[in-house]
Copies of this chain bind each other. A is one copy, B any other.
């Protein structure tokens, strides 16, 4: 069977989350890069701990907690105004330059497109709207209804439940190798957008496809679907 749908991670995959560093640098000169990276790591750590321990909180709140922790750790004075600016930036994240064109082209070829993200619904709706992508996606899915963050299988299952397609006929796309592993363990074919040339995690998973941008995904999908239809080129 050819691939019939594509599920995308959001932050870091479609939207450039490290651009937060620019704002962070403006607010805390000399510390922006350190803060932005530590914040992202801590945010992910908190999603995992809260999922492991069944103490779910929406991503917005987890993200805020992580910011407060990181500023305390780095000794940076976090005013309410700065906090609101940093969190507010999440609604205005820029998509990677190729994102919109590739998405439109894939949709034009009949693929069903979805986002599946740790972000809570309000955050996702805001960033999708701001990036002009509202008409591109058939589904914008948050893990919020299952109250578990990735890589819990229940999170990935939201995709197959909503699409009504077996996991094997969907490709899951993420820039995070751990997310690729979680999706592969659930049963999706995977495409790793390895934007930074990171080494593969030692988790026993090899993605079905890999590239440096979403443009490479376009080629991957074409090749997979041509191979699935005998005689076509």
Contact = CB atoms under 8 A, between A and B. Distances in A.
Given A52-B182, A181-B49, A69 B153 contact: no
B73 A203 contact: no
A220 interface: no
Nearest to A149: B52
A232 interface: no
A48 interface: yes
A92 to B, nearest CB: 24
Interface string A175-208: 0001001100110000000000011011110000
A151 to B, nearest CB: 5
A204 B50 CA distance: 11
Interface residues of A, number: 31
B202 A53 contact: no
A65 B203 contact: yes
A72 interface: yes
B51 A52 contact: yes
Contacts of A46: 201-203
A152 interface: yes
Rank and list the top 8 A-B pairs by shortest CB-CB distance, nearest first: A65-B202, A69-B202, A48-B48, A53-B185, A52-B151, A72-B199, A53-B151, A73-B199
Interface of A: 45-46, 48-55, 65-66, 68-69, 72-73, 150-153, 178, 181-182, 185-186, 198-199, 201-204
